Structure 1
Amino acid sequence: MNGLGGVNRIVVIGLGMTGLSVVRHLLRQPQPLDIKVIDTRVSPPGQEELPPQVSLCSGEWNMSWLLEADLIVASPGIALATPELQQAAQAGIEIIGDIELFARAVTKPVIAITGSNGKSTVTSLVGEMAKEANINVGVGGNIGFAALDMLANDHDLYVLELSSFQLETTSSLKLKAAVYLNLSEDHMDRYQGLEDYSAAKMRIFHHAELAVYNRDDLATRPETQSPMTSFGFDDQAYGLVEQAGQEFLAVNQVPLMPANEIALVGRHNVANSLAALALADAVGIEHVAACRALRRYTGLVHRCQLVVQQHGVKWVNDSKATNVASTLAALKGLDLEGKLHLLVGGDGKGADFSELAPVLANLNVQLYCYGRDGHLFAPLVAEPICVETMSEAMSQAASTAQAGDMIMLSPACASFDQFPNFMARGDAFVTLAQALQHQVAGATEC
């Protein structure tokens, strides 16, 4: 089963991890296919991995290829509103993404997660729950492995993180369960507004056997005839109950485990854990296995990750905070005795950062603004420090930090102005933090 029907001429738009996974999937098909790749970058990543029978046009669009195609598979970073894709669509050529290809080929159960924030954590956590239950699980999508690459391993369960970009080009993905975690402003440079952005995410529920939404964020509740359940901080469905003065995770008011035994840190991760439990139940993962994972799983790299602690100063890598809501979640969970040295900036994606102001006003904070849109953060506090690069911000923070302080990268922006992705930005932060740890103002030589 591959869902390609009589399609022969396929054009893949964009290389990189996703584009290469599409090419590999197409080359695995039993029928020979005419595969071409277009990438407007002059030297696209992964071009050396293309086999000789796959043609590549780089540095420009090739409209003759597009208009002669039977099918176009576009990487999620390419907006459907791109004029070249619009011209192809008007010519009647079907445009899909890698997740739609996956949907047409997969034969095993699939769970999917979307939302503005927390989706990587919930995706990974459900994967850990499945592993604890000895299920052969594949975890990927918008995180880790490309969905199509995982098909080659014939897993018994797939857990996918899906972005709004991926969902735009997905129409037939059948899911055992889907969750929409939360909604906050993001990618406003690509969408016409919050409603348009949310509509893309709502596509996750179109063929879901169970829809899971956030009771504390009703913008995530779908209009669907499918069965629904929810998670939240009250005692309903997947929620919280109190026994003998202690808070417990609960399902339909039946306590499962104390909330303070979750290995993940922060109130937002209590909500993430409840969402993960709902998804795990949908595919029959026993509560004992799910709770073992909750007690063991400590979280993702680049998400509130303590990377250095020396001379009483903590260096925290929260590079995955690529929007305002994610940074807000990190700040609201802080327990800090000294000053917070907060690094913000990068590619703001057209966001409004004013929502950070009241939270920053209640913190003992020194704000360091860097990158292309760093200046947009300056009005949020009385005495910001504005520099060009993240490394300059880190050096200045190290020169003034004292015991009890925290130096945190939680930029509320994408990384693309100075780094290839948030992982590269986080790795750079970790490397420099390790180099600067002995230079903090409070350091003393033994």
Structure 2
Amino acid sequence: MKKNLIVILGGGESGVGAALLAKKMGLNIFVSDSGIILQRNKRILIENRIPFEEKGHTNSLIFKAKKVIKSPGISRNNSLIKKINLFGIPIISELEFGKTYLNNSYIISITGSNGKTTTTSIVYKILKKAGLHVGIAGNIGRSFSKEVLKKKDIYVLEISSFQLDDCLKFRSNISVLLNIQRDHLNRYNNIEDYTYSKFKIAIHKNKEDILIYNHDDPIIRKGLKKYQIGSNNCIPFSINEELYIGAYIKYNNIFIRHKGHQEICFLNIEKIPLKGDHNIYNILASVLISEILNINKKFIKQTLLYFPILEHRMEKVLNINGVEFINDSKATNVNAVFYALKSLSSPIIWIAGGKDKGNDYREIFYLVKKKVKAIIFLGKKNKKFINCFQNIISIIRETENIKKAVRMAYILSIPGDNILFSPSGSSFDLFKDYKERGMKFKKEVRKLFYEKNRYFF
């Protein structure tokens, strides 16, 4: 291998994107993955003559690298990562690598335990409707480095804590902190470490940059006092208080108030199809960003009034004989389940489970007692779940089979019930990701629908 080698660890979306950008810039690169690289990604690497390996790492080659670009899915506690650190080889994120090759593009970064995808999608659609040359990337499933090759004027990025972990200097013109809840505590030592990771989106900023944050979130308010924020422009949003500056709800309307100015009324929230407090937070953050960028109000309204429900997020699948099936597979932590349960009024049969991430389920006990009539745990290790809820709910079932979970739920239901698939854990015990999990749930619901209604076809 030539000198000045850059090793890209991980042959997924972010790794392949980084490899394509590096190739375009004439850099000497090598992609290494401990698992099997997807066929479509291998094809891209081969077509672009990018050397790679899979099913293991050649350590002797990696330890000669000038720099390592790490997939966010690889933990900092990984043994190979620890060895790379011992060799003093710099490790950077794909986000930071991509930004190196941007000139004057405007960056909007959005993070939070929940709501990242929805908020990122809303902002992107508003800016696109306004006719701006905008790209969308990050944790939403598109490599930022790959999008950098398209040279957009503005980028809207969904950013996870795992991506932020490897960011040393990454900064955005506008950063958004939606919320911080107990999450990923199987990877972080404690909530403080997780909070610091999220706050890296706010720490690396210039004075003229803007931070938008959730005023109602106690962990964020505490973090604002604890960490040194680079920006002089910190703008809050709230659904509980009328703010002196920022975005808030009053008389069911969205209002924004700038410093020293009268409040501006945007839209009645009851007209917006996205429902629930969690979505109101996402909408407030999106409206604030749009207002800062001087986007015409008509484009904001048009986007919000016709914004579709995102797949796998409180997605109504089918109503079978009066029983509503809802796919909320993207709910991988307790806070997401909290808002899902809160948004439903009819009795709920809750399908939960998955790989636990250090969740504290006590915060949803009240809602479960009040609204849930039965729980079905879908996963390989259900003991913690059962121990948490056995004194709260009398009807608890468990299975490792999603077909059985759907049918159990239907047997336990009566017309008027909701069957809510809102796992609260990650999908990796039984599925590749939350998308596969959600798709299989919907598939089994449709099968059930055709069985129950076959005589009508």
User: Would the TM-score normalized by the shorter structure come out above 0.5?
Assistant: yes
Residue type at the aligned position of 2:325: W
- 1:349-391 per-residue CA deviation (whole Å, 9 max, x = no partner) reads 2323333322100114210012123332223122211112222
1:157 — aligned with what?
Answer: 154
Q: Is residue 242 of structure 2 the alignment partner of residue 235 of structure 1?
A: yes
Residue 207 of structure 1 is aligned with which of 186, 192, 205?
205
Aligned equivalent of 1:413: 425
Would you say the 8 A contact 1:176–1:283 is kept in 2? Answer: no
Provide the residue aligned with 2:132 in structure 1: 135
Aligned counterparts of 1:72 and 1:310: Cα–Cα separation in 2: 51
Q: Secondary structure at the match of 2:100?
A: helix
**Alignment partner of 1:13 out of 3, 9, 31:** 9
1:176 to 167, 173, 178: 173
User: How far off is 1:204 after superposition?
Assistant: 0.6
**What is the total number of aligned residue pairs between the two structures?**
432
1:255 to partner: Cα distance: 1.7
Distance 1:278 1:264 in 2: 17
Distance 1:361 1:60 in 2: 48
Residues 382 and 400 from structure 1, CA distance in 2 versus in 1: closer, same or farther, beyond 3 angstroms? closer
> 2:229 matched to 1:224?
yes
Instruction: Work out whether 1:271 is the aligned partner of 2:281.
Output: yes
Q: Distance in 2 between matches of 1:65 and 1:97?
A: 20
* Counterpart position of 2:255: 250
Alignment partner, residue 280 of structure 1: 290
**1: distance between equivalents of 2:185 and 2:304?**
34
Tell me how far apart the structure 2 counterparts of residues 240 and 34 of structure 1 sit (CA, whole Å). 50
- Deviation beyond 4 Å, 4+ runs, structure 1: 42-45, 443-446
* Residue pair 1:111, 1:175 contacting (<8 A) in 2 also: yes
**Amino acid of the structure 1 residue aligned with 2:253:** F
Match of 2:141 in 1: 144
Paired letter, 1:34? N
Aligned partner letter, 2:252: E
Deviation of the 1:273 alpha carbon: 0.6
Name structure 2 gaps, 5 residues minimum.
258-262
Q: Show the counterpart of 2:100.
A: 104
Measured after TM superposition, the shift of residue 7 of structure 1 is 8.3
Amino acid at match of 2:242: D
Identity, % of aligned positions = 29
Distance 1:100 1:241 in 2: 36
**Secondary structure of residue in 2 paired with 1:54:** coil
Cα distance change of structure 1 residues 331 and 64 upon mapping to structure 2, 3 Å threshold: same
Contact 2:171/2:201 (<8 A) preserved: no
Instruction: Give 1:63 shift.
Output: 1.8
Within a 5 Å distance, the mapping from 1:14-53 to structure 2 comes to 14-29=10-25, 31=26, 33-42=27-36, 46-51=41-46, 53=49
- Cα distance in 2 for residues equivalent to 1:304 and 1:349: 21
Q: Contact 2:8–2:19 (CA<8 Å) still a contact in 1?
A: yes
Say whether the 8 Å CA contact 1:126–1:276 is kept in structure 2. Answer: yes
Alignment pair present for 1:424 and 2:410: no
What is the distance in 2 between the residues matched to 1:437 and 1:212?
A: 44
Partner-residue secondary structure (3-state), 2:266: strand
Distance 1:278 1:325 in 2: 23
Task: Give 2:382's aligned amino acid.
Answer: G
> The residue matched to 1:300 in structure 2 has which SS?
coil
2:260 alignment counterpart: none
User: How many Å separate the matches in 1 of 2:215 and 2:138?
Assistant: 26
SS at match of 2:300: helix
Aligned to 1:18, what secondary structure does the other structure show? helix
Q: 2:397 aligns with which of 368, 380, 385?
A: 385
Counterparts of 2:366 and 2:93, CA distance in 1: 40
Tell me if 1:68 matches 2:71: no
Q: Look up the match of 2:187.
A: 190
- Give the corresponding residue for 1:78: 74
Offset of residue 43 of structure 1: 5.5
State the SS of the aligned residue for 1:186: coil
- TM-score, with normalisation over the residues of structure 2? 0.89
Q: 350, 363, 366: which one pairs with 1:355? A: 363
Q: Distance in 2 between matches of 1:213 and 1:87?
A: 37
Q: Is the 8 A contact 2:14 2:142 kept in 1?
A: no
Q: Secondary structure at the match of 2:351?
A: strand
SS for the counterpart of 1:100 is helix
Structure 2 CA distance for aligned equivalents of residues 15 and 153 of structure 1? 21
How far apart, in 1, do the equivalents of 2:455 and 2:321 lie? Answer: 10
CA distance in 1, matches of 2:373, 2:114: 24
Is the Cα–Cα contact under 8 Å of residues 314 and 405 in structure 1 kept in the other structure?
yes
- Structure 1 pair 399/127, CA: closer, same or farther in 2 (3 Å)? same
User: Does structure 1 residue 310 correspond to structure 2 residue 308?
Assistant: no
**Equivalences for 1:286-305 in 2 at 5 Å?**
286-305=296-315
User: Which secondary structure state, in structure 2, belongs to the residue aligned with residue 410 of structure 1?
Assistant: strand
Q: Describe the shift of the 1:83–1:13 C-alpha distance in structure 2 as closer, same or farther (beyond 3 A).
A: same
**SS state at 1:102 partner:** helix
Structure 1 stretch 431-440 or stretch 403-412: which is displaced more? Answer: 431-440
Q: Does the 8 Å CA contact 2:353/2:378 hold for their aligned counterparts?
A: yes
| Cα separation, partners in 2 of 1:391 and 1:444, compared to 1, 3 Å | closer
Q: Deviations for 1:7-55, whole angstroms, at most 9, x for unmatched residues?
A: 83011101121111111111111x3x32112211155663343228433
Paired residue for 2:53? 57
Amino acid at match of 2:21: H
* Residue in structure 1 matched with residue 416 of structure 2 by the alignment: 404
Q: Which runs of 5+ in 1 are unaligned?
A: 1-5
Query: 1:325: Cα distance to partner?
Result: 0.8
Secondary structure in 2 aligned to 1:105?
coil
Report the Cα distance in structure 1 between the residues aligned to 2:97 and 2:444, rounded to whole angstroms.
41
Q: Distance in 2 between matches of 1:291 and 1:95?
A: 42
The whole-number CA distance in structure 2 between the counterparts of 1:241 and 1:396 is 41
| 1:407 CA displacement | 1.4
Would the alpha carbon gap of residues 404 and 170 (structure 1) be closer, same or farther in structure 2, given more than 3 Å must change?
same
Asked whether 1:343 is paired with 2:344, we answer no
Which whole-Å CA distance do the structure 2 matches of 1:40 and 1:251 have between them? 49
1:389-423, Cα deviation, whole Å (9 max, x unpaired) = 22211111123332211111100011111111101
- The answer to whether the 8 Å contact 1:39/1:60 transfers is yes
Query: Which deviates more from structure 2 when the two are superposed, residues 122-131 or residues 382-391?
Result: 382-391
